[in-house]
Amino acid sequence: MTGHDKVFIGGHWRPAVGTDAIDVVNPADEQVIGTVPAGSAADVDAAVDAARSALPGWASTAPSRRAELLMALSGELALRQDRMASLITAEVGTPIGFSRRVQAGLPVTMTQLHAELAADFTFEQRAGNSLVLLEPVGVVGAITPWNYPLYQVVCKVVPALAAGCTVVLKPAELTPLSARLFTECIAAAGIPEGVFNLVTGTGTEAGEALVRHPGVDMVSFTGSTAVGKHIGSVAGAAVKRVALELGGKSANVILPGADLAQAVRANVADVVRNAGQSCNALTRTLVHADDYEEAVRIAVAEIAAFPPGDPADPDCRLGPVASRTQQEKVRDHIRRGLAEGARLVAGGPEVPDGCDKGYYVRPTVFADVTAGMSVAREEIFGPVLSFMRYEDEEDALRMANDSDYGLAGSVWAADEKQAITFARSMACGQVTVNGGAYNPLAPFGGYKQSGVGRELGEHGLMEFLQTKSLQL
C-alpha cells in the first residue's frame, strides 16, 4: 500500500491542509491499495490562486507552443501506459486487457489528436468588418468520475489547456491514484507551474469548494444527473459557465432485416464493457416482435461468455463493479426489475458463484421489459440489459425517445440510408449506425437530462473558449 499526503499546487507537491485521508480500495479483493489526502477548502483556495496566477502567461503562450507541450504529455502518458493500466485495474476493477487498450491506451491517442487540433485551430476569425477573437474562458474547475478515470481527465484537461485555460482537477474519490500518475506526466512534460493543479478530496468538501469558488470561471463535470443539477444551479447563480456530461439510458434499435446476431452480440459486449459502468451503455434493446425471442436467445447465449473473474487475469472479460455501494445499487435494480414483472433470462441479484470477496454482480438480461419499469427508465450503471418489443418503426422511435436522458443510441438496419434516417430522429447526442467505429474527435454529449455542452474534438475545445469581437 502506498500512502500519499500531498496535493499538487503551483507545480509542486505540498502537504495538504486537510488532515483526513481517503482509502483507495481494490474492488476485486476489497484490500486497501493506497491513501490520498482529503483536500480541504483551503487546499482548493491555494490551487485556484495558483491557477489564476498562471493564467495570463499560459493564455498568452502561442497555441503552437501549447500544442508542443500537450504532445509531450502524450509521450509521457505512453511511457507510463502499462503502469497506468495496472493502476486503473486495481482502482476500478476493469479487466487488464481493456485497461491497456482503452483506459490507458486511448488517452494517449486522445492527447495526441487534441494537441494536433490545437496546433491547427484558428483562434482568430474575420466576420465582415469584425475580427472575432476566441479567448480562454479562464480558470477551469474539472471534476471527473471513477468509471474511466484517466480518459475523463484527458477529455477535460487537455482541451482546456489547449484553449489557454488553467485547471484545478478534483478527481473521483474512488480513483485518485491514476490522477496522481497523470499529474506526474504533466510535470514531466514541462507544462508550466500553476497551469495544472490537483486536489484530491471528497465531493462534499473539495468538490463543493471548487464549484463555489469565485476564482473559478468554468466548471466541467462528469457524473450523475443529480449532482450535475446541483452544480448547474450553483454555477447559474454565479453566472459561471458550466459543462455537464451526465447520465444515460441509451437505446439500441434493431430494425427488421438487420443482421440480428451481429447487432445483439455487439449490444451484449457494449453492456458488459467496464462492468456496465459506461454512461453511454446501450442498456435498452428494442427489437421487432417477429425477431424478439430469437434476439433474447442470442443474448442469453452470448452473455454466458462473460463470467465474472479476476480483472488482473489477461483472459478476464468482466471484472467487479467499482465499489460496495455500486454493487448494492446494481443488485437492488435487478431485484426491482423482478418485482415489477420483467422476465429474468440470465443472471440475477445473487452474488456470482465463487465471488465472496470483491464487488461482483451477475451479468443480467431481462426480457418483456415495458416502458414504465425502473429497469427501462433509470440508469443502472452495471451489466444489466433490458429487451423491449416494438411493433413497427414508428413505435420503435417513440420508445427510443421515451426517456429523460438523451446521451447516446444505436440503430441497425439492412439499408444504411434507412438507419441514418432513423438515427436523425433519435433524441440523443451521438448515434452509432450499424456498429460504426468510435471517433475520438467527434463531439460527445447529450440531450435532455444527459447534460449541457460537448466534449472532444473542435466542439470540445470550443467549450473552453469565449468570443470577443473587434469592430474594425
Residues with a known catalytic role: 245, 279
The rounded distance, in Å, linking the Cα atoms of 278 and 10 is: 33
Largest CA distance in the chain: 73
> H or E segment at 196?
strand 196-198
Q: What is the 3-state secondary structure of 317-370?
A: CCCCCCCHHHHHHHHHHHHHHHHCCCEEEECCCCCCCCCCCCCCCCCEEEECCC
CA 103 to chain centre: 11
| Start-to-end C-alpha separation, the chain | 62
How does DSSP classify residue 146?
S
In angstroms, the Cα distances linking 363 to 108, 195, 305, 320, 343 are: 30, 43, 10, 10, 15
**Distant-in-sequence, close-in-space partners of 287: CB < 8 Å, separation ≥ 6:** 254, 260, 295, 296, 387, 388, 389, 390
Cα atoms in the 13 Å half-sphere on the side-chain side of 390: 22
How does DSSP classify residue 438?
P
The rounded distance, in Å, linking the Cα atoms of 271 and 332 is: 18
Residues across the chain: 472
Dihedral class, residue 434 (left if φ above 0, else alpha if ψ from -120 to 50, else beta) = left
CA 243 to chain centre: 13
Burial class for 437, CB neighbours closer than 10 Å (0-12, 13-18, 19+): exposed
Question: Which amino acid, residue 14?
Answer: R
How does 445-458 read in b/e, with b if 16+ C-beta sit within 10 Å? bbbbbbbbbbbbbb
319, 263, 262, 253: which is closest to 287 by C-alpha? 253
Residue whose C-alpha cell reads 484517466 in the numeric block: 150
